[in-house]
Structure 1
Amino acid sequence: MNTVATLGTVLLGHAPAALTPGPNFVLIAHTAAAGSRRAALAVALGVVAAGGLLATVAVFGLGTLLAATPWLATALRVVCGLYLAWLGVRLWLKARTPDGKPPPERGNAFGQGMLSNVTNPKAAVFFGSVLTATLPPTEPTATKVAAICLIVLASATWHLSVALLFSSPATQRWYDRARPALNRVVGTVLVVLGVALAVAG
């Protein structure tokens, strides 16, 4: 398979993982609609950075470290799952504040975006199987680097667009009216995803 065809296959494989709504989409959209475009963009950039890191790990075979040390992979999965659940609990607590408005934000939005993507099951499937199958060790290094850059560019285009769209004044006005209920819905989704990840075998 030539380089263009290989990169096309990588992009087609990445599209469903990136575009299908999941934890990354929920976190970015919620942060943006809550009224902070800057924080939403930071979360989106964290998602993109984690995707680039995961792609690099998968493409250059560094994932063999986790394969050789199952206890480390399990520990990372449990910690990341619990963190995702904690974010969900925080949203539930925000929903209980007066008028459903959240207390002042703390923490690192960029780091939240990175952890969201690291714990994303879709990302695990794509980077752990689809990408490694598309880019076997025999592929030239230049092709692997180009594939990583393509993934980062596509991810940035999509996730930054979500942040900008959901931080528009119209979306924020709608969100402000529905904030308490949405906080509970989004919080529940994150808790379920986090617990499922932490207890998965």
Structure 2
Amino acid sequence: MSPAATLGTVLLAYLPAAITPGPNFVLIAHTAATGTRRAAVAIALGVVAAGGLLAAVAVFGLGGVLARTPWLATALRVACGGYLAWLGVRLWWQARTPGAPVPPPDQDEVVARRGTAFRRGVVSNVTNPKAAAFFGSVLTATLPPTEPTAVRAAAVALIVATSAAWHLSVALLFSSPATQRWYARAEPALNRVVGTVLVVLGVTLASTP
């Protein structure tokens, strides 16, 4: 198979995994609609960075780690489930009345929030079972270790570029003024709906082998 065909196969395998709604999508979209565009972009960049790291680990020979260590896969699943459930509970507690005044943060707080948002995106993707399944099995099967180093490096770059395009698009779309105005009118109810979905998803992930 030519390098172009190999990269095309990698892209076709990755696209459905990237755009299928999951924890990363929910986290970015909710932050964009209820917070700031910068925070949503920071989370998206964290997701992209973690995805690039996982892709690099997978294609350069360590993709079988999860297959050889079932306890690690279980730990990731439980960690992801607990993290999602925690986010859901936080949404319930932080649900606000529409129009409730929120004091503007100072510059130091803004910088701190960006760092926290970036770390949240990294944690969300690293502990995401869907990402672990793709990078640990699908990608390594699609891109065997016999491929030249240049092709594997190009595959990682392609995954990072595709992930950035998708997740940043989600951040920008949901942080548009029209979306934020609509979300603000229904924020308390939607926070509780999204929180419930995250708790259910988290408990299901943590308890399902």
User: Is the TM-score greater than 0.5?
Assistant: yes
Q: Deviations over 1:146-193 (max 9, x none)?
A: 000000001001111111111111111001001111111211221122
Q: Does structure 2 conserve the Cα–Cα contact (< 8 Å) formed by 1:94 and 1:100? A: no
Q: Does structure 1 conserve the Cα–Cα contact (< 8 Å) formed by 2:76 and 2:128? A: no
1:81-120 equivalences under 5 Å are 81-95=81-95, 97-99=96-98, 108-120=116-128
Q: Does structure 2 conserve the Cα–Cα contact (< 8 Å) formed by 1:94 and 1:101? A: no
Describe the shift of the 1:141–1:108 C-alpha distance in structure 2 as closer, same or farther (beyond 3 A).
same
Counterpart among 186, 191, 207 of residue 199 in structure 1:
207
Describe the shift of the 1:137–1:103 C-alpha distance in structure 2 as closer, same or farther (beyond 3 A).
farther
Name 1:188's counterpart in structure 2.
196
1:1-201 equivalences under 5 Å are 1-95=1-95, 97-99=96-98, 108-201=116-209
Amino acid at match of 1:41: V
Moved over 4 A (4+): 100-107
Secondary structure, counterpart of 2:146 in structure 1: coil
Distance in 2 of aligned mates of 1:129 and 1:198:
20
Describe the shift of the 1:91–1:170 C-alpha distance in structure 2 as closer, same or farther (beyond 3 A).
same
- Shift, 1:101, TM fit: 5.8
Q: Deviations over 1:39-86 (max 9, x none)?
A: 100110011011111111211222433444333332233223211210
Amino acid at match of 2:44: A
Q: Does structure 1 conserve the Cα–Cα contact (< 8 Å) formed by 2:77 and 2:128? A: no
Aligned residues with identical type, % of pairs: 78
Distance in 2 of aligned mates of 1:38 and 1:86:
23
Amino acid at match of 2:45: L
Q: Does structure 2 conserve the Cα–Cα contact (< 8 Å) formed by 1:86 and 1:191? A: yes
Distance in 1 of aligned mates of 2:134 and 2:170:
21
Q: How many residue pairs were aligned?
A: 200
User: How much is the aligned-residue C-alpha RMSD, in angstroms?
Assistant: 2.2
Distance in 1 of aligned mates of 2:46 and 2:100:
25
Structure 1 unaligned runs (5+)? none
Distance in 1 of aligned mates of 2:101 and 2:27:
15
Amino acid at match of 1:25: F
